[in-house]
Each structure stands twice: as C-alpha cells, then as structure tokens.
Amino acid sequence: MPTDPAASTDKIVDSLTLRFDGEEKDGSALHELRAAHVAEVLQGLVGLTSDFDKAGVFDGEGPAGSEILVRPAQEGSFLIEVIRVASELVTVANDFVTTNGALISVTGVPTLGVVLNWATKSARADVKSFERDKESGLVKVQWQDDTMDEIPNAAWEELNKRQNRRKKHLRQIMAPLSDPRVSSLDVALTPAIEGAGAPEVFVLDRSDYDAVRPKDDVEEDENFFEVEAQMSAIDFDNSKKWKVKTKDEKRGAVMDDKAFLAKVGDGLAIRKDDIFTLKVRADSKTKNGSTRTTWTVVNVISHRRAAGDNDS
C-alpha cells in the first residue's frame, strides 16, 4: 500500500479537515485527543469512503480506487487532515457550486466533507420527500427539517443501504465527542484551496454522536433435534437449572416436558448413568457478532438403564 501519492500513479483528488474544539478542566484550549479516539476517527473515514467509492459516488465509471492518507497535524491546534488519492483518470474537484444549499464540484463529484454531511444528516433526520431527476441524475431530497439537498443517484442509493454499518463508521469518526473535554467537531465541506477563502464548515456535537449509536444487531434462530444424554444435574425446585451430558458436551438445559416432570415428582428414580433420548430445542441469539445458545428439553422420548445396570 503506497504511503506517498507522489510515488505512485495515484493523485490527490480531495481532502477533508476535521477540527475538534473543546477545553481542558482548567479552561485552557484543547490541544490533544486520546490516541484510541484518533484511531477510530481514521477507521471510520476509511470505512465510509470505501463504501461510497465502491458505490461509484466518486467516479461515474465505477470505483475510483480511493485511498485515505493522513497529513501531519498543525502545531498548536488539534486538526485532523486526510487526503483521498485515486487513479490518475479521476478528475480533481477544485471548483464548486452550491445547489439548494449543497456544495458539489462542477464535475458532479461530491467531496468527502459533503458525503459526511449527507451521511450524518440521514442518520439524524427522516426524509420528508424525494424526487429523482432522470435528466440530471440527481435526487432532490427534502428532509424533515425542510432543508433540501440534491444528491447524486449513486450516493442516494448508498445512503439507503448498510445503515447500521454507516452508523458505526460515523460513530468512529465522532469518537472524540465521547470525551467530556471535546464539545464539537467542525467538518470542512470542501478542501482548503490556496488563495481561496476559508472553506464552509458544518458542526457536529454530542447530540449527533448520540444519534449515530448503532442499534444492536440481533438475529434469533431455533433448531430442533434429538440427542441421547444423561441427566448430570437435576433441580426439583427449578426446571431451568437442569444439566445434561451428551457424548460431546455437558451443558445446562431447561426441562420443559411437563409429563416427565410429573413422573419425577411422583418418585421416578433417575441414576446418573441412565440414558435418555431427548427432543431438544436449541435457541440461538446472535447479538453484535456474539452468539449464545440455550437448550430446552421439550420431550423425553425414552429412558433406559445403562448397560450392565440390572436394577429395575
């Protein structure tokens, strides 16, 4: 992976400046951030850029092969400046126009700052209405707060996909806002161009950080199967605390066979070596990539003594 765009066939096509403002406990200006937060900011920017690049947002012909590089921070302030490098064939966006309040390059390619603005807005505001303009290839979007944006179709399609993934990227980018010392994040909508005035910025604060908290990604599944097992632990007072032992594992189980529980209550003798054929329901719950499975015995199909046990 190249670290110097000048040493490759790629060129700088865009840049983005993030300024984190805040103050220390003694009231002095903020000049440092936690390293872990800075790492999250960069990971979020890389992920967000990758998704929109693959969607063809930065080049109408398809993915531009964008790569995010970091420029050194300026002395005496906490700025994070990143540059996006892409193929030599991709047009550099240096001239910008304002359409319904949205800055976009004259080539129709949005900057990273504009993409970040759309992404954060879509996370905190619902769409009131939208209309596709087939001639221009833009989608006219009216947000719930009655602001308007004209968004290229490829960007609009991407904004309506992978919303939990995007929230994760945005939350990473805004990670320093979880630090009580940091009060706001200024995002430049366009690259800083020599000889031009200061770029327009939009401001994010802790409420924006809270708005992109991803919902728990939960998947539930159930599976029925039959298995031979021994009862390794029996709780006469709590049917949820039984334990069974199969040839492969020993685990907790809920005993939900009411007829079998009645037999046990009437004095059915169970030895530790007795073998039962059980119908089990395995309930699996996957939350944010972590899976937990519980067993419920819904039916004790059969019961036999272990081989060599003549006691009836």
Each residue of 188-204: pLDDT tens digit?
Answer: 887 766 666 677 888 99
| Three state DSSP letters for the chain | CCCCHHHCCCEEEEEEEEEEEEECCCCCECCCCCHHHHHHHHHHHHHHHHHHHHCCCCCCCCCCCCEEEEECCCCCCCEEEEEEEECCCCCCCCCEEEECCEEEECCCCCCHHHHHHHHHHHHHCCEEEEEEECCCCEEEEEECCCCEEEEEHHHHHHHCCCHHHHHHHHHHHCHHHHCCCEEEEEEECCCCCCCCCCCCEEEEEHHHHHHCCCCCCEEEEEEEEEEEEEEEECCCCCHHHEEEECCCCEEEEEECCHHHHHHHHCCCCCCCCCEEEEEEEEEEEEECCEEEEEEEEEEEEEEECCCCCCCC
Q: What is the pLDDT of residues 80-124, one digit of tens each?
A: 888 777 765 445 454 444 444 444 444 567 888 889 999 998 888
Q: What mean pLDDT comes out for the span 11-19?
A: 82
Tokens of 296: 């419920």
User: Which pTM was predicted?
Assistant: 0.60
d(CA 119, CA 7): 32
d(CA 231, CA 242): 8
d(CA 20, CA 40): 14
Burial code (b: 16+ CB inside 10 Å, e: under 16) for 140-149 equals bbebeeeeeb
For the cut 60, the answer to whether the pLDDT of residue 294 exceeds it is yes
d(CA 68, CA 61): 20
Per-residue pLDDT, 87: 62
List Cβ neighbours of 262 (8 Å cut-off, separation of 6 or more).
none
For the cut 80, the answer to whether the pLDDT of residue 217 exceeds it is no
Per-residue pLDDT, 16: 85
For the cut 80, the answer to whether the pLDDT of residue 218 exceeds it is no
Is the dihedral angle over the CA atoms 145, 150, 153, 158 positive or is it negative? negative
List Cβ neighbours of 238 (8 Å cut-off, separation of 6 or more).
none
Q: What is the pLDDT of residues 221-275, one digit of tens each?
A: 889 999 999 998 888 888 899 999 999 999 999 999 999 999 988 888 888 889 9
72 — pLDDT class (breaks 50, 70, 90): low
Per-residue pLDDT, 101: 43
